Amino acid sequence: MMIGLLVLLSAFLLVWSAYKEQARITTYRRNMSKSANWTCWYKQDFERFIQSCAVNKRRRSLMVVLGSGGHTAEMIQILRAFGQTMLSNEDKSLCSLENTCQVVYIVASSDNHSIAKARCLHDRDGALSLFSYQTLCIPRSRYVGQSYFSSLFTTIYSFMVSCWKLLWCDTPDVLICNGPGTCVPVVFIMFIRNVFYNLARRKSRTRTVFIESVARVRSLSLSGRILYPFVHRFLVQWPDMMEKYPLVEYVGRCL
């Protein structure tokens, strides 16, 4: 009886704090999507970031979900530009760039192509050569052409495995994903981890950035629709989306 009550109470607490976390995300996004309409690159944001790196002396960690095919190409493009802004920083004395970032790649298993591309970005291409990186494999949640019904089960399986793997990794500061099915469980786990961090009154929390694929013009993808309430920033690449979904930010085409 007592145990049952306790379980019920903690379940209630969990649901309530998850609800609060979700509400916090919504307010954050409402502020962000109101505050600016992105048309150009704001250099002061980059400079503030470099400065805060210099002040805090803490290595930021970035988690990147790589999908397959077009998703990876888009993500590589974004990461390359991100690395180049770091390299183009003229005032190198502000911080030693080795201390700024480490990148964790999440790839669907059986996707060697994406890993190779990411590795190329660090080793050969040189854009991200200042960052250290590691990779984490999780099973795919949906194969191309798989039906909705069967993808439910593979998603659950993928969710369980990625839960197990991601629970033991370091908390990333920022999680970027751009819409392959693999990112759904990852974002959920980060959301749940944030809820627990809140309950424990700890500070380290993950921000999630979702970038909708350039292929989506008027409607969100399936993973986009699922993750819409749970990410801190939802970026879209076509302006038509802003009318339909109020909490997205239009950033322009990046491929």
Residues that bind other proteins (CB under 8 A): 38-42, 45-46, 48-49, 52, 56, 58, 60, 62, 69-70, 73, 77-78, 80-82, 85, 101, 144-145, 173-174, 176, 204-207, 209, 211, 213-219, 221-222, 232-233, 235, 238, 240, 249, 251-255
Sheet containing 233-236: which strands, arranged edge to edge? 132-138, 101-108, 60-66, 174-177, 207-211, 233-236, 249-250
Minimum Å gap between C-beta 144 and other proteins is 6
- Cβ atoms of 208 and 164 within 8 Å: the answer is no
Looking at beta carbons only, is 5 or 201 nearer to other proteins?
Answer: 201
Looking at beta carbons only, is 92 or 113 nearer to other proteins?
Answer: 113
Looking at beta carbons only, is 10 or 51 nearer to other proteins?
Answer: 51
Looking at beta carbons only, is 161 or 216 nearer to other proteins?
Answer: 216
Minimum Å gap between C-beta 255 and other proteins is 5
Residue 102: phi, psi to the nearest 5? -130, 150
Looking at beta carbons only, is 166 or 176 nearer to other proteins?
Answer: 176
Minimum Å gap between C-beta 232 and other proteins is 7
Minimum Å gap between C-beta 195 and other proteins is 16
Minimum Å gap between C-beta 40 and other proteins is 7
> How far is it, in rounded angstroms, from Cα 203 to Cα 187?
18
The C-alpha R_g of the chain, in whole angstroms, comes to 19
Burial degree of 107 (CB within 10 A; 0-12, 13-18, 19+): buried
What are the Cα distances from residue 168, in Å, to 73, 74, 161? 28, 28, 12
